[in-house]
Structure 1
């Protein structure tokens, strides 16, 4: 998995990385509509033709942006797995970090988990590696008795569906600690993990 993340960060070289970084900034400022290859080149300080030497079109550039975001999440999951936290705490911290990222960067969140009209090997590899690392964290928590037994893939899907849906509701104004639901997405993550965890008497 580390090899995949390293390939994602190194594949395009310094100019490619500068173009991706410029695209991320434009995405944060105005969503996908604000990202154009010409403006990305201008922001990165290269010629207007340079982006086309690295990316076939805008969708290829946005796929590289999404791959970078997923690769960063994957590295964070790997670091937590190697840390001192118990397995259940690792899963909780992964979920909280995911929610924090999505709320802080809604355009990136919607890009990464939106529809794509064609495949991208780089994006596919980053997504698979990140998902695999999270499934591994869930499986370890199951083995430690801190999450219920069962298919770790399916339990991972449940956790991600809750977090993803809660973020969508919060971004649309339908979920807030002081408003609808009387909770924010992180609160609902904690609620679900409490429901799934061992009984208090254990």
Structure 2
């Protein structure tokens, strides 16, 4: 069984590399198998189809994001600063892996994927917990669910605009980082 987990892990790693190189369209189970050095049928023993494999890649990216958010929220500083650090870590994560960012937040269709859903909840919960703690300590004002959604939405929108080149159309346009800092300042009261 350890060899099976090793093979599955290698297939996921290769699929993530292919996503980084050319987006989800670059991923085929046949190419994943070839690059992983296994038979073209091996990926089908681990994943039902391409969507399943991509969902597992996206789930891994979200687990990485959740870990970064939790680390930022564990910093020894006031709650508003922790939320800002978490939001900035979100921007850094997206900038490091723009194709994975687009994969994670792309359309997934009506069929849920358990692993992807759990990873998405973990990332959302990490940001929400950070925001709730900042509101509780008085460094941010507002209702935790709404403030958390605002921070996430602004960060996400800023990243998306920055990746597409729309945020920097004019020399006076703010950066994604500046937008995050300004939002946290305004939420600090």
TM-score by length of 1: 0.86
Shift of 1:84: 2.3
Q: After the TM superposition, which parts of structure 1 deviate over 6 Å for at least 4 consecutive aligned residues?
A: none
Post-superposition CA distance 1:146-197 (Å, at most 9, x none)? 11132x1111111111111111211221112x83652111110011111111
Equivalent residue number for residue 132 of structure 1: 125
Output the CA distance in 1 between the equivalents of 2:40 and 2:22. Answer: 20
Shift of 1:72: 0.9
Query: Which residues of structure 1 form unaligned runs of 5+?
Result: 1-9
Partners of 2:172 and 2:59 lie apart in 1 by 33
Preserved contact between residue 83 and residue 184 of structure 2 (Cα < 8 Å): no
Which aligned pairs between 1:1-202 and structure 2 lie closer than 5 A?
13-117=5-109, 118-150=111-143, 152-176=144-168, 179=170, 182-198=173-189
Paired residues, number: 186
Contact 2:73-2:83 within 8 A present in 1 as well = no
Q: Contact between 2:142 and 2:187, CA under 8 Å: does it hold in 1? A: no
Cα distance change of structure 1 residues 144 and 121 upon mapping to structure 2, 3 Å threshold:
same
CA RMSD of aligned residues (A): 1.8
